[in-house]
Amino acid sequence: VTFLQRCVQLLLLPIHVLACLGLWDSSYKKVFPHIMSKVASMYNRKVYKQKQELFSNLRQFTSPSGQLTLLEIGTGTGTNFQFYPPGCRLICTDPNPNFRKFLLKSLSENQHLKLERSVVASGEDLHQIPDGAADVVVCTLVLCSVTDVPRVLREVLRVLRLGGAFYFLEHVAADHSSWTYFWQKVCDPAWKYFGDGCSLSRETQEELEKMNFSELNLRRIHVTPYWIPTSPHIIGYAVK
């Protein structure tokens, strides 16, 4: 694995130099939303039934006032909007402001939702969101690219009201004895550059199990095609 990683790193040397000079991230963050607007729609078709099932009980966490306030971390292009119930009040966060025009487009196509506010913020620092402000927090394909998963999960617990729920769908590390995991480790150096910091081998399930959730409902699935390094996923929700 180490030898192949070094080969990949050698091929990526020009990009690595640009990254060290601070030129790669600034440029790629402008391009990445355009890529994701295409990729997200294809991915949604693959996991449509799983997402539909995952979000089917969102209403269960409506606040006593009868209003459901949903905070989405790493909203991106708004690919999850179609699965949220009518009248849901949205708080959207994303560290990349270049997603905004795609976000607005998705909102115009999902007028059953009401945008309460949109914040440029990373999942590790949601200080603009008050404690207990959300009934539900959603995070899909985000924990793979954050710099500090435990810190994000601590922020999730902070902004959730007691009894609220955290919904997740994330690609994760494969079984360590599998060929998929072998290729995940080999491809990781390149994937991080082209996936805007995304890691293929995050042990996200372990991090969730360490957090102080009162209930954790989680299962592992595979997304087709099964041979790609992002195929292993975890899906579910956790209750504060």
Please write the tens of the pLDDT for every residue from 140-194.
999 999 999 999 999 999 999 999 999 999 999 999 999 999 999 999 988 998 8
The two three-digit tokens of residue 156, written as one number: 């999730």
What is the per-residue pLDDT for 26? 83
Other CB atoms within 10 A of residue 222 CB: 14
The rounded mean pLDDT for the chain is 94
What is the per-residue pLDDT for 23? 79
Question: Rounded to whole angstroms, how far apart are CA atoms 43 and 78?
Answer: 13
Going 131 to 150 to 182 to 216, the CA torsion angle's sign is negative
> With 80 as the cut, is the pLDDT of residue 103 above it?
yes
What is the per-residue pLDDT for 17? 84
Question: Rounded to whole angstroms, how far apart are CA atoms 145 and 99?
Answer: 16
What is the per-residue pLDDT for 8? 79
Confidence of residue 14 (pLDDT cuts 50, 70, 90): confident
Question: Rounded to whole angstroms, how far apart are CA atoms 54 and 98?
Answer: 28
Q: What is the pTM of this model?
A: 0.93
CA-to-CA separations, 50 to 29, 46, 47, in angstroms, rounded: 29, 9, 5
Q: Give the rounded percent of residues in the chain with a pLDDT score beyond 70.
A: 100
Helix, strand, or coil (residue 131): coil
Question: Rounded to whole angstroms, how far apart are CA atoms 109 and 105?
Answer: 6
Q: What are phi and psi of 162, to 5 degrees?
A: -60, 125
The rounded Cα 206 to chain-centroid distance in angstroms is 16
Confidence of residue 238 (pLDDT cuts 50, 70, 90): very high
* Domain annotation for the chain: domains and CATH numbers: 1-239 (3.40.50.150)
What is the per-residue pLDDT for 106? 96
Question: Rounded to whole angstroms, how far apart are CA atoms 73 and 87?
Answer: 19
User: What's the whole-number mean pLDDT along residues 78-83?
Assistant: 97
> With 80 as the cut, is the pLDDT of residue 100 above it?
yes
Other CB atoms within 10 A of residue 181 CB: 18
- Residue 82: partners with Cβ closer than 8 Å, 6 or more residues away: 110
What is the per-residue pLDDT for 11? 83
